[in-house]
Amino acid sequence: MITTDICIIGAGPVGLFAVFEAGLLKMRCHLIDYLPQVGGQLSEIYPQKPIYDIPGYPEVKAQELVDNLMDQIKPFKPTFTLGERVDHLAKQEDGSFIITTNDKTQVHAQVIVIAGGLGVFEPRKPALENLEAFEGKGVTYMVKNPETFRDKNVVLAGGGDSALDWTIYLAKIAKRVTLVHRNETFRGAPDSAAKVFDLASNGKIDLILSANLKEISGNGKLETVTLETKNKEELNLEADYLIPLFGLSPKLGPIADWGLNIDKSAIEVDTRDYSTGVDRIYAIGDINTYPGKLKLILCGFHEAAIMMHSAFKYVYPDQKLSFKYTTVNGVNAF
């Protein structure tokens, strides 16, 4: 079991900055995110898009902001569980919580901060009859650890940036990579599409266009992926892994069942400290709602600062908190 002062659900920009605000008050954080990387919407949806409304940055690329936030919180040594979804929350007799993820990781924390943004980004799944039977047995929707695919036959499906990027990456380590796409052209970055066409023409990958996934089969684990081409021909591919990358759609997910006040998929909070009405549970960033709420990164940063000052009383019940600027205390590492 992981033990921490504050467990932050969601490692988007707001969850990350909350670590800094907690660290200034000597509170340790553990973050959990369903995505395999930190950065939330910024890293997942628009890493190369410039952002113009972060104070002090006339322009910053989304991924650069995430990288800078990671640098900023480094002194406070946050710990992470990535690629896992928080499913369950159990209140303990002393008021603290035990959180459990879908992979059964458990975190014990005095305070829970929900910085879950738009919710869990659930993968869009292909319509294959026996898909669920092969999930975790060859079918996977994200690349958590590329080494899993070393020397394996991997079939990727999709036409966006993730499908292109992972095809390029896995071509270097897999035994054979096949990319299947239902169209002739790609939605992803033209530069990446050009690299994929190059790899195919040099025989480094197999590229099968205008084809759809039709069937998967195997004995206890995935062995064959069957495709259907636009001419209704069937193709059988030997496969250890199938990675359908058809995009992600956000859902509030399990958080909706935790007894919080939910209004249109957002958690209602008290703007004095962004508490949820359930003792020791706070909600900050895009996931919360209150009169006048703006879904902006800088608003989430503000909420994180106020919220952590309120949470201090649960972590240090015997201490009185007095407000100080960072110039007085400095950023003291743990």
Ligand X SMILES: Cc1cc2nc3c(=O)[nH]c(=O)nc-3n(C[C@H](O)[C@H](O)[C@H](O)COP(=O)(O)OP(=O)(O)OC[C@H]3O[C@@H](n4cnc5c(N)ncnc54)[C@H](O)[C@@H]3O)c2cc1C
Tell me if 13 contacts ligand X by CB under 6 A.
yes
Task: Tell me: does residue 116 bind ligand X (CB under 6 A).
Answer: yes
Question: Which part of the chain contacts ligand X (CB under 6 A), choosing from 11-19, 104-112, 153-161, 239-247?
Answer: 11-19
Q: Which is nearer to ligand X, 40 or 159 (CB)?
A: 40
| 154-193 positions binding ligand X, by CB under 6 A | none
Q: Of the candidates 91, 295, 302, 313, which one interacts with ligand X according to CB under 6 A?
A: 295
- Among residues 288, 287, 286, 282, the alpha carbon closest in space to that of 306 is found at 282
Phi, psi of 140 (to 5 degrees): -140, 150
Does 274 help bind ligand X (rule: CB under 6 A)? no
Q: How far apart are CA 58 and CA 76, in angstroms?
A: 27
Task: Select from 76, 179, 286, 312 the one that contacts ligand X (CB under 6 A).
Answer: 286
Q: Tell me the closest approach of the beta carbon of residue 170 to ligand X, in angstroms.
A: 23
Residue number with CB closer to ligand X (35 or 143): 35
- Exposure on the CB side of residue 182, measured as CA atoms within 13 A: 9
327 known member of a binding site: yes
Task: Quote the distance between the C-alpha of residue 171 and its chain's center.
Answer: 24
Tell whether the torsion through CA atoms of 80, 81, 86 and 88 is positive or negative: negative
Q: For residues 183 and 138, what is the distance between their CA atoms, to the nearest angstrom?
A: 24
- The residue from 163, 237, 255, 269 that contacts ligand X (CB under 6 A) is 255
How many residues of this chain bind ligand X (CB under 6 A)? 37
Number of neighbours of residue 48 by Cβ within 10 angstroms: 10
118 part of the interface to ligand X, by CB under 6 A:
yes
Is 48 assigned to a binding site?
no
